[in-house]
Structure 1
């Protein structure tokens, strides 16, 4: 197999015309005033780095600044690139946009994608180089594996296991099977034929035979694709060398959520090679149910001989809230370093409180009235407020929606299903943002520079124009023509009399649905254009049903000026002026006793979204003595006052 570094991408970026490197001593942060001392040390490091960044530390900004530093100083010289790996598509897109805004002249050399996209891309491009036993000429279908299927599989294979292993196979946990057993097994170069020595080995071999080595098309999920990619780079040294030459610097975001398979892959490809920067916070480890490794950041530090840099500044929360956060953080990590607030505290209100109510209706009515009064007395908007809960968000929506609607305030349930997608995922989806952006640009041709940059950047990626000045100019010309044509179409088709199907079909015709489909297939594994467009249609139909014009319809679609209603899990990475943490009771936190550490991490993530005010609520009289008594104890230790609101 012959493989050069530039074969990892369809096209190699052109050499820069100007861009003389900035001297290291002269480089300054871009778009921010300064970095804290530990961030400066981590940014300048040439080795492996573990950045421990708590809530509000600005980890995405740190990674963007480190990318700018490496690219602008020439430490990462052309044509080499930086690879940034995130766990969520929206996080990868957000980091990519941040780097583009900071160093647009080098943006084409910053590759930001998810773990799944990276490993799937390797398998798809270099599958022919897999060891012979693992090559599949018929290809594969992606089939996600849920706990029920893993349970059925283990039940079916247990009776045929060797007698000495039978009870051990039956005892394997189906909810952990994919993450721990399949994800923890490195594929051997040849399919083994010897007798398995333990239950896990027996089960994982049976799984690969049934799902992958079966006649015809293989069935795989992303854990299996990860394992195939790891085998690929291990079995093909030229590919491993090419990856290391192409990406001398690697960033991994949210490292506390790294799974066994992902850690193994990262070690195989980039161990003892490129400089890896891992950013994470063990106190925010809330993905243990999905296979996140315990103490992943510490394991990285040990395996990669990395230097650890804890960031102490908190740019989000006031000093009083940072002190409250430290009380909970200390329960998760007794050695955690107190953060230093860099946010200006507002006067005139208590930073934190626990409100108790006699009923759920009383809770919704009081909070709705309180928010309306606060908005009327300040310059704040509904988007500055969030209603968080541990789970069962749908139970809260009707009460709060009706009560807030009486004040002319909307609620956006980010956890709601729209087609086959969650609303939060749809609103952050790159394809959905492209379609909505086209509508925005057509309807309002001026004053939307950020939307234009976002849409044109997506189109450049879809049409393979990144790094090609002439192709990017052509994309810009096409975008102008598209929005001009769409503008005339919108004027002739008011939302009240135009179906969402008709509108979306028009958009797909202009944007080239075939090109979008190819782009999704190559960059976002498991993401289906039809699923996205169906969800977009459903949301647009709801938005246009009560809209007199396209301004109302597009604002209703996005609901940017609405109070967010979401789970603590979905709030990660977000921030609000005021957070209401609803439902501090056994019903919401029924599983707390099953995994107190991860449950407390979820509690920590939710409460650390607040910048200025944090209000916990409960309608359960005896919640203090129930399953979550320890959470109430933490609040008491933090000095959070309890107020009976009737």
Structure 2
């Protein structure tokens, strides 16, 4: 396979249609009443902009409205598109759905994906256009190297590197090596000894030689794919021109979590070209452990000559919560601007800030407060959530003991179940299907929402969407399956039945091979065996506490 001008013809030579379906001035937001003044200014600015906003400010909604504005007014003309880059798949999917709901007629011209998906897609499609010294002969596989192997590489470097580099190499830590060293080095188009004159380049190149520049299949992670994509675009002017023409507007969500590699990629591809909109919260950098740049939004403003627009409206938090947030924000930034709550006043509520001298005192106080509040309000334990910034395991044992003293059980959604986190398992489509089937078999009526969700999953599994006859057959199959499962559960109660047997029987009724084919086609990245193992482990953990 080779990449030439013909491969890029479609995107380098678009047919532009300058006519606008809706004039700029009368355009109004879709699905919401209005935007705050600063949001209006940012929305109408067709140059690079940095929208800085805290939690609840409607950052995703702003991007959806900006997309609608650009698409409906023709500022982004047919057939050009808007590219939206997010850091997580659910955020990318959420933004895509929101734009589709606002402007369904333009949904196909709004491309929402993650950073990793975008850079991987470029490498997968245009890898043959890489400079000759960086081309892959046998393809690649994605592997994540454990820390002990990175430690081994760094130890080897200390014994083989030139003496004048060893002090600098000794200061490199394994937990930051891939993000800061490998991710911070731009691959040279033509590699020379001069390119390896400093310790960072020397260490990064050693990594590339071990995992990529070797016989056989290359072993890559997403940081390395990012670096290859950046090199690809930098060394292939036609590709960069194609991307810039195809995407005259680029959105980047949660910009405060941008890594040095991702920032370098954005600069190579989109600086001095498309209008880039960066949206983020400069007080909420939670991905520092993963290499997020300090002051990333300020870096963007300087590098892209972007105009900053701070948003102050808050659509999520009540007045009392906004006041509390400002107390904390002021500790981080004395010049922090107070947010304005746009939440309608409801029942009396309060927000308080408590400070404790130890974790044990914190756990004891909160457990006692919850027990007292439950007794006073009539609320149940499920109506409460304990949100921990990080290292939930450090807090769980303390809270579990203190809450147990008040006869309150706690569930840790961050707990490891097999090879998955419980919160990921609970959101997983396969797990939700299995839970739904068990619920329907256990309770004969009153679960219409669960029935609809399970029916929809079954219809997708059997390819029955849009086919009324096939949908009826799926409905009949589901009814029969529920009846068989209900009979089996009645003679195999949880006190006498293992979770393994329950899951095995459930999968036999469902037809595991049909499920496997469906998961493979709809969620290629999901390992069904990992999901089933985690589901079986979690079911076993809770069955011992249940009577049905």
With the length of structure 2 as denominator, give the TM-score of the two structures. 0.82
Cα separation, partners in 2 of 1:25 and 1:195, compared to 1, 3 Å: closer
Bigger radius of gyration: 2
User: How far apart are residue 410 of structure 1 and its match?
Assistant: 6.4
Say whether 1:224 aligns with 2:224.
Answer: yes
User: How far apart are residue 46 of structure 1 and its match?
Assistant: 1.6
User: How far apart are residue 81 of structure 1 and its match?
Assistant: 2.8
Structure 1 residues 390-409: aligned runs within 5 Å: 390-394=389-393, 396-397=395-396
Aligned to 2:69: 69
User: How far apart are residue 284 of structure 1 and its match?
Assistant: 0.4
Aligned partners of 2:11 and 2:246 also within 8 Å = no
User: Which residue, out of 484, 488, 493, partners 2:480?
Assistant: 488
Aligned partners of 1:368 and 1:403 also within 8 Å = no
Alignment deviations for residues 163-197 of structure 1 (CA, whole Å, 9 cap, x no partner)? 22122222223222111111011111233344722
Aligned to 2:420: 421
Aligned partners of 2:11 and 2:245 also within 8 Å = no
Alignment deviations for residues 551-573 of structure 1 (CA, whole Å, 9 cap, x no partner)? xxxxxxxxxxxxxxxxxxxxxxx
Aligned to 1:503: 506
Say whether 1:385 aligns with 2:384.
Answer: yes
- When you count strand as a share of all residues, which structure comes out higher? 1
Structure 1 residues 72-221: aligned runs within 5 Å: 72-194=72-194, 196-221=196-221
Task: Structure 1: give runs of 5+ residues left out of the alignment.
Answer: 9-19, 464-470, 550-646
User: How far apart are residue 349 of structure 1 and its match?
Assistant: 5.3
The root-mean-square deviation of aligned C-alpha atoms, in Å, is: 3.9
User: How far apart are residue 473 of structure 1 and its match?
Assistant: 3.7
Alignment deviations for residues 300-332 of structure 1 (CA, whole Å, 9 cap, x no partner)? 112222221100111222323323322322332
With the length of structure 1 as denominator, give the TM-score of the two structures. 0.71
Structure 1 residues 138-537: aligned runs within 5 Å: 138-194=138-194, 196-345=196-345, 348=348, 350-354=350-354, 362-363=364-365, 365-373=367-375, 375-376=377-378, 385-394=384-393, 396-397=395-396, 411-429=410-428, 447=449, 473=466, 481-482=473-474, 484-494=476-486, 496=489, 497=492, 499-504=502-507, 509=512, 513-514=516-517, 516-521=519-524, 528-537=527-536
Which stretch shows the higher mean deviation, 394-403 or 142-151? 394-403
1: CA distance, partners of 2:431 / 2:273: 38
Which stretch shows the higher mean deviation, 421-430 or 36-45? 421-430
Alignment deviations for residues 420-470 of structure 1 (CA, whole Å, 9 cap, x no partner)? 1112233345665677689899998955799599969x969x99xxxxxxx
Query: Which structure carries more relative contact order (alpha carbon 8 Å, separation 6+)?
Result: 1
2: CA distance, partners of 1:291 / 1:138: 30
User: How far apart are residue 77 of structure 1 and its match?
Assistant: 3.7
User: How far apart are residue 271 of structure 1 and its match?
Assistant: 1.7
Cα separation, partners in 2 of 1:330 and 1:386, compared to 1, 3 Å: same
User: How far apart are residue 210 of structure 1 and its match?
Assistant: 0.9
Figure out how many residues of one structure are paired with residues of the other and give that number.
523
1: CA distance, partners of 2:350 / 2:547: 41
Q: Secondary structure at the match of 1:517?
A: helix
Cα separation, partners in 2 of 1:309 and 1:392, compared to 1, 3 Å: closer
Structure 1 residues 583-622: aligned runs within 5 Å: none
1: CA distance, partners of 2:224 / 2:311: 35
User: How far apart are residue 93 of structure 1 and its match?
Assistant: 2.4
2: CA distance, partners of 1:174 / 1:499: 43
Alignment deviations for residues 2-22 of structure 1 (CA, whole Å, 9 cap, x no partner)? 3237689xxxxxxxxxxx934
Cα separation, partners in 2 of 1:309 and 1:483, compared to 1, 3 Å: farther
User: How far apart are residue 342 of structure 1 and its match?
Assistant: 1.7
Q: Secondary structure at the match of 2:219?
A: strand
Aligned partners of 1:183 and 1:227 also within 8 Å = yes
Cα separation, partners in 2 of 1:362 and 1:199, compared to 1, 3 Å: closer
Aligned to 1:620: none
1: CA distance, partners of 2:343 / 2:518: 45
Alignment deviations for residues 240-299 of structure 1 (CA, whole Å, 9 cap, x no partner)? 233233323221111001000001111112222222211111110122121111111111
2: CA distance, partners of 1:3 / 1:263: 27
Cα separation, partners in 2 of 1:514 and 1:239, compared to 1, 3 Å: farther
2: CA distance, partners of 1:40 / 1:449: 43
1: CA distance, partners of 2:289 / 2:386: 24
Alignment deviations for residues 588-626 of structure 1 (CA, whole Å, 9 cap, x no partner)? xxxxxxxxxxxxxxxxxxxxxxxxxxxxxxxxxxxxxxx
Aligned to 2:495: none
